[in-house]
């Protein structure tokens, strides 16, 4: 009898949850978004590939650097025949450009076993960032994705070209040099990336595979930006490239959320997609209600330009609540690299903090090597604590009606 009661209680509780999650309607404010979504029929990949018929370069405006799910989409794209027969180079914001040759020799090597590939890629990964450790696993995942692709598609090799300013830790011997070199990188960051890309793209024009994909986090992927005070800023990678290539470049953004982990447009976008069962689509901002909204990814510094003034289109690849932000690269900090890494991290953190960085190898190894995943809910809890007004689902659900 007791078992029957428990089962009945479980069924009853499940019915309550189901009823709470059964959307019956929506507020009139999001109806234009819903109607627009229902009228779209291109998947994110097909939309992006369609753009290559008109443009030579697609700037892919990634969201949070940590998010690996957008790289799952890129992996799917890379393995699409229509993509790899047109694109031979993927340019990335992340990574010092002086290590491109070393990286691509590994990515094009067909005589390595799995363990050798892992170790050789880790060897390069340790050197590519002036921050001492680039902890976002998705970039290393991209490298392995490209390597695996090249193994199975030897006639269509894909290269990665990192665009960040050159930086060599072997040249950094004290805090003064570290500060000077770091300041140089940060001062010329966007211009240097744009110059590298433009020169490389011009010099490497394959007669057939002459298209390029450029992965840039915003703000770097923006064409421009203007504050509410009317101050315009065009010192972005996207702006420099747009000035030179203009109508050859298409700027797309992955469905975004704000830098303080809140939904854009006060939750209207996410609510509309939730009502439409999170339809995976790609579309132009022009002539859409989405494009008319003010770009609010930086809520602390409000601008006046709309999404369609900054990007050509958007790819909705997954709901924000299913994003996985993955930190940690297994094997990054090993016995042989430990002394050099501790030297680097102490130099780097002294520049950041202005004082000696106290740490130990055990904690640094745990931080670097252990993969851990965060969701939008984890981030909101860490930033806002018990403030219910900042809960992502609450903001989104205000536009939806439930039975």
Report the pLDDT value the prediction gives residue 3, as an integer from 0 to 100: 53
The stretches of 246-324 forming alpha helices (DSSP H) are 268-275, 289-292, 307-310
- Structure confidence by residue, pLDDT tens digits, 184-243: 999 999 999 999 999 999 998 788 999 999 999 988 999 999 998 899 999 999 999 999
Q: Alpha-carbon distance 191 to 402, whole Å?
A: 49
Which residues, 6+ apart, have CB-to-CB distance to 241 below 8 Å?
A: 57, 59, 194, 197, 198, 214, 249
Question: Do you find a cis peptide bond into 219, omega within 30 degrees of 0?
Answer: yes
> Long-range contact list for 335-339, CB < 8 A, 24+ apart?
337/126, 338/365
Note the pLDDT of residue 21: 66
- The whole-chain average pLDDT of the chain stands at 94
Tell me if 214 sits within 8 A of 197, measured CB to CB: yes
Which residues, listed in sequence order, are joined to residue 303 by a DSSP beta bridge?
A: 227
Q: What is the pLDDT at residue 302?
A: 83
How long a stretch of residues is the chain? 403
CB 195 within 8 A of CB 97: no
B/e letters for 211-240, b = 16+ CB within 10 Å, e = fewer, are bbbbbbbbbbbbbbbbeeeeeeeeebbbbb
216, 59 contact by CB (below 8 A): yes
Partners of residue 90 on adjacent β-strands: 160, 213
State residue 299's pLDDT score: 75
Check whether 2 has a pLDDT greater than 70. no
pLDDT at 313 exceeding the cut of 60: yes
Which position has the higher pLDDT, 230 or 8? 230
Average pLDDT over residues 323-347: 98
d(CA 326, CA 372): 6
How sure is the predictor about 300, in pLDDT bands with cuts at 50, 70 and 90? confident
Tokens (6 digits) for 55? 């443009």
345 within 8 A of 133, measured Cβ to Cβ: yes
Quote the DSSP letter at residue 295: P
Among 386, 326, 370, smallest CA distance to 139 is for: 326
pLDDT of residue 15: 43
The DSSP string of 123-187 is HHHTTS-TTS---BHHHHHHHHHHHHHHHH-TTS--EEEEEEPP--GGG--SHHHHHHHHHHHHH
């Amino acid at each position: 009898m007791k078992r029957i009661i428990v089962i009945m209680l479980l069924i009853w509780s499940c019915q309550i949850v189901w009823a709470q999650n059964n959307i019956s309607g929506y507020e009139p404010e999001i109806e234009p978004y819903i109607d627009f979504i229902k009228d779209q029929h291109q998947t994110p990949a097909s939309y992006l590939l369609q753009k290559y018929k008109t443009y030579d370069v697609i700037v892919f405006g990634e969201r949070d650097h940590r998010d690996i799910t957008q790289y799952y989409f890129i992996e799917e794209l890379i393995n699409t025949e229509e993509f790899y027969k047109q694109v031979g180079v993927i340019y990335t914001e992340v990574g010092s450009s002086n290590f491109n040759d070393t990286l691509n020799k590994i990515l094009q090597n067909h005589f390595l076993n799995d363990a050798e590939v892992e170790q050789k890629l880790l060897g390069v990964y340790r050197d590519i960032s002036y921050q001492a450790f680039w902890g976002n696993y998705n970039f290393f995942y991209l490298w392995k994705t490209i390597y695996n692709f090249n193994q199975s598609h030897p006639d269509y090799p894909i290269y990665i070209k990192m665009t960040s300013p050159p930086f060599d830790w072997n040249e950094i011997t004290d805090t003064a040099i570290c500060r000077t070199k770091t300041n140089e990188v940060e001062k010329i960051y966007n211009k240097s990336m744009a110059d590298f890309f433009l020169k490389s793209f011009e010099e490497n024009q394959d007669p057939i595979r002459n298209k390029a994909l450029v992965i840039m986090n915003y703000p770097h992927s923006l064409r421009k930006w203007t504050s509410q005070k009317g101050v315009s800023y065009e010192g972005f990678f996207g702006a420099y490239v747009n000035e030179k290539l203009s109508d050859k470049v298409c700027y797309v953004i992955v469905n975004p959320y704000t830098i303080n982990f809140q939904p854009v447009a006060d939750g209207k976008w996410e609510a509309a997609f939730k009502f439409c069962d999170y339809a995976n689509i790609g579309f132009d901002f022009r002539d859409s209600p989405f494009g008319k909204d003010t770009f609010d990814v930086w809520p602390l510094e409000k601008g006046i330009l709309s999404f369609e003034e900054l990007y050509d289109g958007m790819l909705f690849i997954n709901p924000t609540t299913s994003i996985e932000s993955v930190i940690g690269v297994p094997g990054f900090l090993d016995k042989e690299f430990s002394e050099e890494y501790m030297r680097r991290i102490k130099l780097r953190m002294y520049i950041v903090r202005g004082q000696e960085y106290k740490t130990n190898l055990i904690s640094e190894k745990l931080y670097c090597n252990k993969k851990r995943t965060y969701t939008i809910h984890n981030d909101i809890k860490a930033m806002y604590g018990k403030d219910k007004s900042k809960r992502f689902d609450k903001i989104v659900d205000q536009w939806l009606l439930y039975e």
